[in-house]
Structure 1
Amino acid sequence: MSEVTNPIQACNDIFFKPNGVFKAVNEHNNWSWVPFLIVIVLSVLPGYLFINFVDFSWYQNMLIDTQYGDLSPSQQEQMRAGMQHSAIQMFMLIGGILGPIVVNAVVALYLHLMTKSDEQNLNGFTDWYGFTWWASMPAVINALLAIALIALSENHQVLPTIISPLSVAYWADVQMSSEWFGFAQSLRLESLWTIYLIAVGIAQWTSFSTKKATIIACAPFAVIWAIWLVVNLI
């Protein structure tokens, strides 16, 4: 296992040599500010570029048709009036910042509680919160692909799934009007990569076996997807 000596190296090695990164991060928890800033910036940027690239009138009409198609024409017009470019831009900005912060806090609390039974584990909630930003780094790959797709697109009438090019919704071309859209949007390749990184990190930070670490890493994602699947089927 090669030694990781700085957070910039760690941001690169997390994709190829995660064991060494988690070992180093366990000794240098102040490094986690670097992936935090990277993930937050790249969580916001694709949405910002999308809303400034898309044919906004077309996007407005698509949202009205797919989400409020059962409303009366006057009610639809009221919804359209409320969907101003600046408002949606601000929503994407706030969501891109607060979304990862809140989700990672929940994941950190879960990991903290699930690893408390390991007497050798001295890491608290804040340590696990820093840990989650390293495990979130696969989102960077998704963001870079999204930015590239938006930059190369010549058609301004593009679906918002372009922001999540590693999702099933994007590859299967699931329409926003489909009841399966949200579920398909949540099934992402980077989520599986994140699960893998969480499992590797737990095994590195605790005395748990690889099997137990993998179960802990998979459990919350599996439960959420299973409940979502059942709800859609019902």
Structure 2
Amino acid sequence: MNPSSNPLIMLVDIFRSPQDCFTALYERSAWGWQPFIVLLITPFLFWGAYFANVDFEWLKTGLSAQMEATNPDLIHLLEADTLLASEIISDVMSRTLTIILLALWFNLATRQGSAKLGFWKWFAASSVIIFPAVIGDLASYASMLLKHGQVMSYAADLNSLNGLIKLPLTNPWSPFTSSFPLLLPWYIFLGYAVVITWTRIERAQAIVIATLPWVAYYGIWAITIAIS
């Protein structure tokens, strides 16, 4: 393995050679702030472009019809600036919380190994694991341009399953599909890669550690919706 030589090469190696990326990150944990900051910036760029291109009256009419059945008390909040802020805050908070929870999980799940790694090192690793979401932001932007902005806000984000199947707000599965990441297999692979690179944990156990938090979270959520 050849550790990434600088922070920019490390970002490239997330896609080209994850083990080189994680080897460099093990030696220089501060580099983990770079993917984290990029992950927080791209929602501003995408949603800013979305609301600059979408026909807002068309969007408002479509959302109002659905919110009449789901949240009629919130219809008065259907203003461009409010929706823009809501989408950005939702993405930023979701990504930050996901990274924090992943860092806590990896910190706890790998404690039996010989290397005792701190929370902030796993926070840096988790930022790298979620970094492919930036590709989803770029794909969402390209899709929005191809459709000339004529896509509802709840179906605009191609990072989520709902960007593919486009369930309306009135569907009980809409929150689940809007949260479920299309890039989940990639996240699991990167989680596996960092566990193998940073610890002496066996491959089978590393796969379980990388997969379990996602399966548990979305599995419990899906079961709750199915039986409710």
Post-superposition Cα deviations, 1:51-77, rounded to whole Å, max 9, x if no partner, equal 332222232232232233267xxxx4x
Measured in 1, the distance between the counterparts of 2:89 and 2:75 equals: 21
Counterpart residue type for residue 108 of structure 2:
L
Q: Which amino acid aligns with 2:174?
A: F
Following superposition, the deviation at residue 206 of structure 1 comes to: 0.9
- Residue aligning to 2:172: 179
Equivalent residue for 1:136?
A: 130
Aligned to 2:42: 42
In 2, are the aligned partners of 1:35 and 1:137 still within 8 Å (CA)? yes
Corresponding residue of 2:121: 127
Please list, as runs of the form range in 1=range in 2, the aligned pairs for 1:59-208 lying within 5 A after superposition. Answer: 59-69=59-69, 76=72, 79-118=74-113, 120-154=114-148, 156-208=149-201
Q: Quote the RMSD (CA, aligned, Å).
A: 2.0
SS in 1 for 2:69: coil
In 2, the alpha carbon distance for the partners of 1:188 and 1:219 equals: 15
**Aligned partner of residue 136 in structure 2, secondary structure:** helix
- Given that 2:104 and 2:119 are in contact with CA atoms closer than 8 Å, whether structure 1 keeps it comes out as yes
1:29 maps to: 29
Question: Number of paired residues?
Answer: 227
How many Å apart are 1:157 and its aligned residue? 3.3
The answer to whether residue 53 in structure 2 is matched with residue 53 in structure 1 is yes
CA contact (8 A) 2:67 2:74 kept: no
**Alpha carbons of structure 1 residues 190 and 205: separation in structure 2 relative to 1, 3 Å:** same
Give, in angstroms, the shift of residue 161 of structure 1.
Answer: 4.5
More displaced 10-residue stretch of structure 1: 10-19 or 100-109: 100-109
Extract unaligned runs of 5+ from structure 1: none
Identity %: 24
- Could you tell me which residue of structure 2 aligns to residue 229 of structure 1? 222
Offset of 1:23 from its aligned partner?
1.1
State the TM-score, normalized to the length of structure 2: 0.90
1:176-195 residue CA offsets vs partner (Å, 9 max, x unmatched): 32222222233333122111
Deviation beyond 3 Å, 4+ runs, structure 1: none
Contact persistence 1:18–1:197 (CA under 8 A): yes
State whether residues 39 and 140 of structure 1, in contact with CA within 8 Å, keep that contact through their aligned partners in structure 2. Answer: yes
The 1-side partners of 2:115 and 2:145 are apart by: 45
Q: Does 2:200 align with 1:213?
A: no
State the one-letter code of the partner of 1:121: A
Q: Alpha carbons of 1:116 and 1:24: their partners in 2 closer, same or farther (altered >3 Å)? A: same
Query: Displacement of 1:28 after TM fit?
Result: 0.9
Deviates more, 1:62-71 or 1:172-181: 62-71
